[in-house]
Structure 1
Amino acid sequence: MEIFIKEHETKGYAIAQENEKKAGAMTYSIAGEGLIIIDHTEVEPEYNGNNLGKQMLDKIVEMAREKNVKIIPLCPFAAAMFKKTDDIKDVLKI
C-alpha cells in the first residue's frame, strides 16, 4: 500500500493506492498559511478493516509536522481519531 500527499490550489489529498488502484482518500482544505481542515475520509469497501483511514491520517499528520501546520478535523473519522490518539494532538488546532 502506498500513501502519498497531493495538493492543488486550496485542496489537499492523502491518497492510498495498491497496485495503482485507489484504495482510499482523505481530503483537506488549505485554510491559510499554517492551517488545514480535514473534511472527508473515504475508504473503498474492499479495504475496510485494514486501518487505512488511520494510515492516511498519519501521513497528513507527518506532513503537518514537517510544514509546521495545525489541523482542524471536521471529518467525523479524523475528529474521533484525534480524540483517542494522544500522539497526534501536537498538530491539533485548539
Structure 2
Amino acid sequence: MSFEYTEEDGRFVAKDSDGLEVGEVTYTRDGDELLVINHTGVDPANRGQGVAEELIRQVVEKVKNEGMKVEPVCSFAQKEFERKSEYKEVLKQ
C-alpha cells in the first residue's frame, strides 16, 4: 500500500489511498534552531509498513533544509536516531 505524507502545523501526517490518516509524528519548536519530536504514532492496522520510519525521515529532511537540529523525545524517534547514522548530523548534541 502506498501512503501520502504531508506537513501540517506542528506535525507530519501519513494518509492512505482513501485519504484516511494512518500515522503522525508531532513536534514543537524550541527557538529558531531546534525541533523537538514528541510523538510518533501509527494506526495498528498499518504498522510494519515503514510509515513511522518515513514520518521521521520527513522531519529529518525538514530540519536539514531549514538548517535546524532535532531533539527526539519520543521513544520511537530516539530508536530511529540510534539506528540511522545518517541522522546524526541533525541530532542536538
Query: What is the TM-score normalised by the length of structure 2?
Result: 0.93
Aligned pairs (5 A) from 1:39-78 = 39-78=38-77
Give 4+ residue runs of structure 1 displaced > 2 Å after superposition.
none
Q: Deviation at 1:88?
A: 1.2
Aligned residues: 90
Matched residue, 2:92: 93
Q: For the aligned residues, what is the CA RMSD?
A: 0.7
Structure 2 segments unaligned to the other structure (5+ residues): none
1:60, 1:43 → 2: CA distance?
16
Query: Could you say which structure has the higher strand fraction?
Result: 1
2:4, 2:68 → 1: CA distance?
23
Which of 11, 14, 17 lines up with 1:13 in the alignment?
A: 11
Matched residue, 1:23: 22
Q: Which SS does the other structure have where 1:37 is aligned?
A: strand
Query: What is the TM-score normalised by the length of structure 1?
Result: 0.92
Q: Which SS does the other structure have where 1:27 is aligned?
A: strand
2:50, 2:58 → 1: CA distance?
13
1:6, 1:34 → 2: CA distance?
19
Q: Which SS does the other structure have where 1:61 is aligned?
A: helix
Q: Deviations over 1:63-89 (max 9, x none)?
A: 111111100000000001101110111
